[in-house]
Amino acid sequence: MGFLPILIGAALATLPVLEEAVTALAPIATAGPSLELFSVVTVPVPVRPPQHAHYRLRVAASSVWVDGARLTPNEEGDFDLLNLNPKRPSRVAIPGWVKEAVMIETPRVFVSRYEIEDRTARLWVRNSLENTVNIYVTVSSAAGGPQLETSDTIPPGYTKVLPLTGRTGISGPPWRIMLEKQEEAMEGGYRFIKTVERRTGPTVKSYVKP
């Protein structure tokens, strides 16, 4: 092993851990001005400032109103909460009755979706920052062994689908997805890591350098 890989490995090992935060929200039924039914949830004050974390609401709805502003879902079906008040909770109104809703917190660059096969994989990498970022991503068996990999540049405000390949196939689940993001002006470098059992699914955790 060369000197540079040793230095890189040592630097990554010192990164603090940031778990993806998933907060369950309790809907309350209420009637609107025309007596139509709404579900209302209260989104807590963000733990990290919105400029340093990405927040989204996951609920079965075609639109919601956050503090009176109407939102439509993103391409994954979630609602991006880009203008949360950093000093007070926000009120979300959802048409009809819903049984559950959750708020999800991730870093600003993250894997929003994935598809894994034995010899190939595809990752949807989302960059919610205002500048371009460089990333390196891998998929491997959680037990180790061969991995699928690629590196790329993600434009600001963009979700890019990245195909991953390797010299050989990878073993079965659980799989380990890892995204390394280089440090840049808007956000520090970090590793976004999750272990998954299913061939498709949402994000779970990340390792971040503040």
pLDDT (average), residues 20-27: 86
CA pair distance 62, 120, nearest whole angstrom: 33
CB-CB contact of 197 with 177 (8 Å): no
Predicted local distance difference test score (pLDDT) of residue 79? 94
Residue 8 pLDDT > 80, yes or no? no
- CA neighbor of 190 nearest in space, from 114, 130, 108, 113: 108
Query: Pick the residue with more confidence: 50 or 210?
Result: 50
Q: How far is CA 120 from CA 63, 123, 167, in A?
A: 35, 10, 10
Domains along the chain? 21-106 (2.60.120), 108-208 (2.60.40.10)
Q: Which residues contact 144 (CB under 8 A, 6 or more apart)?
A: none
- The single-letter DSSP state of residue 76 is T
At residue 115 the predicted structure's pLDDT band, cuts being 50, 70 and 90, is very high
Predicted local distance difference test score (pLDDT) of residue 91? 94
Predicted local distance difference test score (pLDDT) of residue 76? 82
Name the helix (H) or strand (E) containing 11: helix 3-13
Query: Pick the residue with more confidence: 35 or 58?
Result: 58
- Give the tens place of pLDDT for each residue, 116-171: 988 889 999 999 999 999 999 999 998 888 999 999 999 999 999 999 988 888 88
Predicted local distance difference test score (pLDDT) of residue 17? 59
Predicted local distance difference test score (pLDDT) of residue 4? 44
